[in-house]
């Protein structure tokens, strides 16, 4: 095979292995998510920062995997006992049955109580029994092929219950192993249920089982960590958005308004353009709240916000500063006439009749404008100028109404 073709063949194999591994992880991820939704309460799953939220998916995954494994081992040992009649296989079947019931019972207990830490201890107790007891009927500490499975308890308890309880259960397992060592040192001989000619196969299976359980546990941890990271990232993004936006209308709030206004002024100074700050106050909005209630008032504010946003350029910013006060930042305008055109558009948009719950409302607004850098470059000064202009417009409206009356 030519060297280039061989290299391409190797790359294709790597790609296939990578795609297979990715597919397997995706299936495991979806399986774990479905399992967690079925077992873990929504209240617990929604609290991203709680310790129980970080550890329970691993506990649920390991309980499910361990219960399924114990069920298969129970069936296999029961079949061997039926074929051989060896009482040690009956004992093994009983150990596997007790183990299966322990895992299934712990899963049921956790689903009923959502008590994460007690369930972790029940898992540790069941796993310690299921790893130490088989060693006692397969030759003890020095001969049993199942000894590597003892590592499961400390490894998983650190992931499931944390450093403190992981350390405690590691000590308990070490004491169990030490007890077996002491018994053999005193001359006690543990029974051996495994024929000598099958010892190599059993050792291989025990090591393979240990490896598979560790891998599945770590994959479960990785999947949970990845899901949790994505959730926290989404929540942080939502927190950042909420910190910069008005909760009622979704418009920029005062903090983001000041930030965008400073950016617009900086851009105007460096590129020989202008920026405009427009202050808007709805006229007689208090009467709407007093006559129709705050719920209708909120609907009016949302509709006005929608109209303002629909009439602005994509580069501009519409903000709700509070109450019935809105503000607009016009970014990168070439001349002040553009501001006058925008004021006319916004005024027409606000004055369109509002149909609210079988009632037609006629809303209008008073406007004030400040142009940067013509009238200043500090956002606070510009906003003050726009605010003063808005109050002058509001006063002119009141004077006109008095004269008309």
The CA–CA distances, whole Å, from 185 to 131, 147, 182 equal: 21, 17, 5
User: What is the CA 343 to chain-centroid distance, rounded?
Assistant: 43
Beta bridge partners of 360: 355
Tell me the two tokens of residue 114. Answer: 């959502």
Closest CA to 61 of 177, 248, 215, 203: 215
DSSP tag of 355: E
Element (H, E) at 319: strand 317-322
The rounded distance, in Å, linking the Cα atoms of 303 and 291 is 18
Asked about 47 being catalytic, the answer comes back as no
Please report how many Cα atoms fall inside a 13 Å half-sphere around the Cα of residue 327, on the Cβ side. 31
The rounded distance, in Å, linking the Cα atoms of 261 and 86 is 85
Which three-class secondary structure state does DSSP give residue 278? strand
DSSP tag of 190: -
The rounded distance, in Å, linking the Cα atoms of 16 and 10 is 10
Q: How is 352-368 classified by DSSP, letter by letter? A: S-EEETTEEE---EEEE
Q: How many C-beta atoms lie closer than 10 Å to residue 274's C-beta? A: 23
DSSP tag of 198: G
Catalytic residue among 281, 316, 324, 387: 324
Closest CA to 44 of 249, 169, 224, 299: 224
The rounded distance, in Å, linking the Cα atoms of 246 and 71 is 56
Q: Catalytic residue numbers?
A: 324
């Amino acid at each position: 095979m030519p060297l280039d073709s061989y290299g391409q063949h190797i790359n294709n194999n790597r790609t296939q292995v990578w795609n297979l591994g990715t597919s397997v992880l995706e299936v495991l991820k979806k399986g774990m998510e479905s399992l967690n939704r079925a077992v873990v309460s929504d209240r617990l799953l929604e609290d991203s920062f709680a310790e129980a939220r970080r550890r329970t998916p691993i506990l649920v995954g390991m309980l499910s995997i361990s219960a399924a494994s114990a069920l298969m081992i129970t069936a296999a040992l029961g079949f061997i006992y039926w074929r051989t009649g060896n009482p040690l296989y009956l004992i093994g079947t009983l150990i596997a049955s007790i183990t299966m019931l322990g895992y299934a019972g712990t899963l049921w207990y956790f689903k009923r109580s959502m008590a994460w830490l007690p369930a972790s201890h029940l898992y540790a107790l069941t796993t310690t029994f299921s790893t130490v007891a088989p060693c006692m009927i397969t030759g003890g500490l020095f001969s049993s092929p199942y000894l590597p499975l003892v590592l499961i308890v400390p490894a998983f308890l650190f992931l499931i219950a944390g450093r403190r309880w992981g350390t405690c259960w590691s000590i308990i397992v070490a004491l169990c192993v030490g007890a077996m060592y002491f018994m053999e040192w005193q001359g006690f001989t543990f029974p051996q249920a495994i024929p000598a000619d099958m010892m190599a196969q059993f050792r291989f299976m025990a090591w393979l089982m240990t490896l598979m359980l560790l891998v599945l546990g770590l994959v479960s941890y990785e999947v949970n960590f990845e899901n949790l990271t994505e959730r926290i990232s989404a929540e942080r993004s939502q927190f950042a958005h909420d910190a910069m936006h008005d909760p009622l209308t979704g418009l920029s709030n005062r903090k983001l308004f000041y930030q965008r206004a400073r950016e617009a002024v900086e851009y105007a100074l460096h590129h020989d353009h202008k920026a405009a700050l427009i202050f808007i106050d709805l006229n007689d909005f208090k009467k709407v709240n007093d006559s129709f209630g705050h719920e209708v008032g909120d609907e009016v504010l949302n509709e006005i916000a929608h109209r303002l946003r629909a009439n602005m350029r994509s580069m501009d910013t519409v903000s709700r500063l509070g109450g019935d006060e809105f503000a607009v930042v016009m970014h990168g305008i070439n001349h002040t006439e553009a501001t006058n055109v925008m004021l006319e558009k916004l005024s027409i948009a606000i004055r369109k009749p509002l149909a609210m719950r079988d009632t037609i409302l006629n809303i209008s607004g008073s406007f004030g404008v400040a142009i940067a850098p013509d009238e200043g470059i500090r956002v606070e000064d510009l906003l003050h100028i726009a605010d003063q202009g808005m109050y002058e417009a509001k006063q002119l409206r009141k004077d006109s109404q008095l004269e008309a009356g």
